[in-house]
Structure 1
């Protein structure tokens, strides 16, 4: 047989498979109706495992491959059953009772940020909430606590940078507190090398800044043999340098921070890439969904079995949803278990999307809906 004949054979087999698959889905629909009438949950994990092992044993060398195909068929059948049964009642109620706003506002209440005046998080807060006072806090967790104790309406924290990647501490705190994400903002970040007036470029030995800023400028630091020293925040580093008696140190910070603390800007735009951008999120104890919400954030865990994460991610693809972020972080239980943080493009106002989220909330051992929000730029 030549290639064309082989492809024709595959086409014939596909034509035979399609009506069988459609028949299987129709029977799944009937199963769902039976489960509704008898109060039976959609997922029967033990039955699925038994079927998959039976399939693998019947298929010899192709056992694992065919098992993957059957897993996808089962996932599709389960999705159909969830749609018919309408599970995930707790999540549906949470979303239906959420506050809805056209543009997110704090109504003049304080906004919590990490760092000191001149910090990039403060710039993001001003862009999002120009009419609110900004309270700065020393640590990222202090921002969460300010929101937790109702000392601030919202908190602003950085979660990732287009050059240096994720801010892992932020994701760990998101997973610890599981507050809602009600907004996001992408801030263009231009770093400057700054020192006290009178300090010359050639005198600088040590450069202070946040670890993310040092990473975003590591090519510049390496080229001039500067030693990067980690500090809690870029603006706090600028404040430290301005108050230090040393004349061989500098800070990497924003232009506004340099002006705030009386530093001289020695070099501008020292970041590795010109379009350096940091994404900030808005955290809240109350779920608020913007009318123009376009991004959904979730936390979940998957069963400790081969292919379990693959199957969960396949459900998003099956619904036509695009994942823009997947972050794994360890569960602090000493067993090498992991939480998965996911960002997807979509809206809970879409029926299929809501059905999927509700299905996953029923099926997965851990599942938290963090929010559906608009990301400004």
Structure 2
């Protein structure tokens, strides 16, 4: 094995100068493209090279193609860096506020006592908080200047797809996030045995074990606290609700059981959305969205570039593009700060190459244990 290792070391010594020589050519090509106003990526030429090396490598064709895709991605990133990056993103990074100004009006879906209400109070203590019945109304209010607070993901029940659809539709900036501990209870307004339970579909999913075990009929409602309010107002015999203890107390309900969620450590992530970007110097999470061409390995090629830059992906969500068969928008979160030059360069390169690309924000995320 020692002989083989020495042989590998020799080959690596020969490969490195060739790689550096290639990157020198890349820099010269990049300068020529910059002078001519040409885009960095030439997809047809890249595919021509991939096809050629695949044929020449024989049974190692697939591996050789992957190797060359990585080289070309590195080359493109180098060219993008030399060209100076996307001017709109560079300007945004420079001019955006570093701190959120007075939040003014904050809007969330539901009613007082909802988990969204808790999230809004954690993110914006002391702010005026308004409530609307539906998620799309939150985004409409944001379009008129308010800040919106919406749930995006639960640790037990998964993504809130309706909200991701709205994020991808409106493409407002995310300016903050908070994780709220979810502690559901079963409550009722009228005495007697429970036969039917109201709540938001996510809450019903999070408490599915109890609901199935007891054989309760379930009914979807727009929001856990709104469901609590409806139960309190109807006082219908046999009607219960899954909600927070705060909502149950707020609307005068009797708490029948506490901690009824399937998972003890149940958390929902909320984000704050705004028309204007806020880019704190210590922000630690970045959100992007984009679509991809219908080519083999296109998603893998994008994700590999994050790994190559030492950036950790924390969320990826795909949503179908309306009116297009088997085409998707991708929403992606990763740890990083746009004020870091290498991270900004990567975002600029992705914007130049990917269809429907939007930078959605750079922000910090609070947990339920953290103080503002």
TM score, norm. by length of structure 1: 0.94
- Given candidates 233, 241, 257, the residue that maps to 1:243 is 233
How many residues end up aligned between the 2 structures? 367
Task: Please give the alpha-carbon distance, in whole angstroms, between the structure 2 residues aligned to 1:147 and 1:353.
Answer: 28
Task: Please give the alpha-carbon distance, in whole angstroms, between the structure 2 residues aligned to 1:44 and 1:72.
Answer: 15
Indicate yes or no: 2:328 matched with 1:338.
yes
1:167-203 per-residue CA deviation (whole Å, 9 max, x = no partner) reads 000000000001111111111110011111533xxx1
Q: After alignment, is 281-290 or 23-32 more displaced?
A: 23-32
Q: Secondary structure at the match of 2:357?
A: strand
Task: Please give the alpha-carbon distance, in whole angstroms, between the structure 1 residues aligned to 2:301 and 2:357.
Answer: 15
Indicate yes or no: 2:360 matched with 1:370.
yes
Q: After alignment, is 171-180 or 243-252 more displaced?
A: 243-252
Q: Partner of 1:14 in structure 2?
A: 12
Per the TM alignment, residue 105 of structure 1 is displaced from its structure 2 partner at its CA by 4.7
Task: Please give the alpha-carbon distance, in whole angstroms, between the structure 2 residues aligned to 1:275 and 1:239.
Answer: 26
Per the TM alignment, residue 54 of structure 1 is displaced from its structure 2 partner at its CA by 1.1
Q: Secondary structure at the match of 2:98?
A: strand
Q: Secondary structure at the match of 1:290?
A: coil
Q: Partner of 1:300 in structure 2?
A: 290
Q: Secondary structure at the match of 2:313?
A: strand
In structure 2, the CA distance between the partners of 1:327 and 1:38, relative to structure 1 (3 Å rule), is same
Q: Secondary structure at the match of 1:223?
A: helix
- Given candidates 52, 72, 79, the residue that maps to 1:74 is 72
Q: Is the 8 A contact 2:199 2:222 kept in 1?
A: yes
In structure 1, the gaps of 5 or more residues are none
1:250-270 per-residue CA deviation (whole Å, 9 max, x = no partner) reads 100011100111101111111
Alignment of 1:292-331 (within 5 A): 292-331=282-321
Task: Please give the alpha-carbon distance, in whole angstroms, between the structure 1 residues aligned to 2:149 and 2:250.
Answer: 21
Task: Please give the alpha-carbon distance, in whole angstroms, between the structure 2 residues aligned to 1:229 and 1:194.
Answer: 15
Q: Secondary structure at the match of 1:194?
A: strand
Indicate yes or no: 2:218 matched with 1:228.
yes
Task: Please give the alpha-carbon distance, in whole angstroms, between the structure 2 residues aligned to 1:237 and 1:332.
Answer: 31
- Given candidates 244, 256, 259, the residue that maps to 2:249 is 259
Task: Please give the alpha-carbon distance, in whole angstroms, between the structure 2 residues aligned to 1:5 and 1:223.
Answer: 65
Q: Is the 8 A contact 1:99 1:289 kept in 2?
A: yes
Alignment of 1:20-169 (within 5 A): 20-101=18-99, 104-107=100-103, 109-150=104-145, 152=146, 154-169=147-162
Per the TM alignment, residue 49 of structure 1 is displaced from its structure 2 partner at its CA by 1.2
Q: Partner of 2:267 in structure 1?
A: 277
- Given candidates 252, 258, 268, the residue that maps to 1:268 is 258
What RMSD over aligned residues (CA atoms) do the two structures have, in Å? 1.5
Per the TM alignment, residue 243 of structure 1 is displaced from its structure 2 partner at its CA by 1.8
Q: Secondary structure at the match of 1:362?
A: helix
Task: Please give the alpha-carbon distance, in whole angstroms, between the structure 2 residues aligned to 1:7 and 1:242.
Answer: 75
In structure 2, the gaps of 5 or more residues are 368-372
Per the TM alignment, residue 92 of structure 1 is displaced from its structure 2 partner at its CA by 1.3
Task: Please give the alpha-carbon distance, in whole angstroms, between the structure 1 residues aligned to 2:119 and 2:324.
Answer: 36
Per the TM alignment, residue 307 of structure 1 is displaced from its structure 2 partner at its CA by 0.6
Q: Secondary structure at the match of 2:153?
A: strand
Task: Please give the alpha-carbon distance, in whole angstroms, between the structure 2 residues aligned to 1:169 and 1:9.
Answer: 56
Task: Please give the alpha-carbon distance, in whole angstroms, between the structure 1 residues aligned to 2:35 and 2:324.
Answer: 43
Task: Please give the alpha-carbon distance, in whole angstroms, between the structure 2 residues aligned to 1:27 and 1:144.
Answer: 48
- Given candidates 174, 181, 204, the residue that maps to 2:194 is 204
Per the TM alignment, residue 8 of structure 1 is displaced from its structure 2 partner at its CA by 4.2
- Given candidates 164, 178, 203, the residue that maps to 1:185 is 178
Per the TM alignment, residue 90 of structure 1 is displaced from its structure 2 partner at its CA by 1.7
Q: Partner of 1:174 in structure 2?
A: 167
Q: Is the 8 A contact 1:106 1:129 kept in 2?
A: no
Indicate yes or no: 2:352 matched with 1:354.
no
Q: Is the 8 A contact 2:319 2:329 kept in 1?
A: yes
Q: Partner of 2:187 in structure 1?
A: 194
Q: After alignment, is 331-340 or 277-286 more displaced?
A: 331-340
TM score, norm. by length of structure 2: 0.95
Q: After alignment, is 245-254 or 366-375 more displaced?
A: 245-254
